[in-house]
Amino acid sequence: MRTLLKPTGFVDSPFGHDGKVARLAGGLNWFASVELIRIEGRKRVSADLVPVEGLESRVDEDMARQWEALTVPREPLQLGERTVRLDQPQVMGIVNATPDSFSDGGQFVDAASAAAAGADMAAEGAAIIDVGGESTRPGAKPVWDGDEIERIVPVIRQLAVGGAAVSADTRKPDVMAAVLEAGARMINDVSALTYDDRSTGVIAAAGIPTVLMHHKGAPETMQEDPRYEDVLVEVYLWLEERVAAAEAAGIARKKILVDPGFGFGKSVAHNLELMNGLALFHSLGCPIVVGASRKRTIGALSGEAPADRRLGGSLAFALKAVDQGAQIVRVHDVFETVQALRVWRGLKDQALTPRV
């Protein structure tokens, strides 16, 4: 049996609560309670809610490690000359240079238009621009490496020359090498470095940040009746294993980000359970990336609204994520998300302003 720590009981500020609250991952969120989730194998068997104030008397060595991971500040990401702070939520803008992505496939007919869209996102407040050249939507077929490189390298080169912090959404080591040469300074891998064993070597040698995302199955079949005994626990343990594997391959933990993989081999119920339990993933000690923008779950909850009419649901998920301390939200609608987070930040700043 093992116990996992999930922070909860979030409060607006620490004032007047000395010793009774803890700061989550060095960010703008404070929590007063911890849910002690006992697991056997890969599922929950019981849970207790305990106050932060009395937690020390109940922790073993593994729980103490998780507690440290929950509370230690996340180091800023260094993407070339750009520094992305993680003591506040940041926006990652999505540019899909593909003909078949579920939301914006075929929108950018050439590299210039895709790069211009990315530059606009940066101007609107996106800290990172994530450029992809292979759709991994449900049912998507793999793209040849050469085609993927041809699609995204010119976009990345233009954005990097323009001063943007650029991430590449790819799972292939040859593509990784090409985009790094073009100016990308972060890799967002939907396979969590499992698609090709050579990928870890590319990332380790480059010394760049990388996002490890949970998935279940290949894109072609991942949405064909996905099943879990306990989706929150299984995704947590899978990511824990992938983080350990990345570290063993020479990738520094401070360079690793995790993404629970909203919509990648998960039903609507699975996605909602992961979003409700998102704070658990902080005990992995890595920044959390959430990509729920325009996903099908929003349509399923809103009369099957098409992808281009899912802004409200996307904002709801983004705010739910940052309320649980997520450091990066990956979105299509940058202006609206940045505005929502600025209002969220204003509320936090007011709560954290000492009363005279």
| Token pair 């879990």 in the structure block, residue | 228
Cβ distance 185 to 128 under 8 Å? Answer: no
151 catalytic? Reply is no
- Residue in the structure block whose two tokens are 């720590």: 5
Q: Which amino acid is at 328?
A: I
The CB density around residue 166, as the number of other CB atoms within 10 Å, is 30
Alpha-helix residue ranges (DSSP H) falling in 82-165: 111-123, 145-161
Burial class (CB in 10 A: 0-12, 13-18, 19+), 303: exposed
Selecting among 82, 310, 330, 348, the annotated active-site residue is 330
- Write out the DSSP string of 227-281: --SSHHHHHHHHHHHHHHHHHHTT--GGGEEEE--TTSS--HHHHHHHHHTGGGG
Q: Is 20 a catalytic residue?
A: no
Q: Encoding tokens for residue 109? A: 């007919």
**45: how many CB neighbours lie within 10 A of its CB?**
11
Helix (H) or strand (E) holding 33: strand 30-40
Is 152 strand, coil or helix?
A: helix
DSSP 137: S
* Closest-CA residue to 233 (of 198, 277, 169, 189): 277
Query: Helices 145-161 and 111-123 sit at what angle, rounded to 10 degrees?
Result: 50
Question: How buried is 298 (Cβ within 10 angstroms: 0-12 exposed, 13-18 middle, 19+ buried)?
Answer: buried
DSSP bridge partners of 34: 7, 50
Tokens read off for 110: 């050439």
Length of the chain counted residue by residue:
356
Residue type, 179: V
User: CA 238 to CA 215: how far, in whole Å?
Assistant: 9
Q: Which of 74, 295, 310, 348 is catalytic?
A: 295
Active-site positions read 295, 330
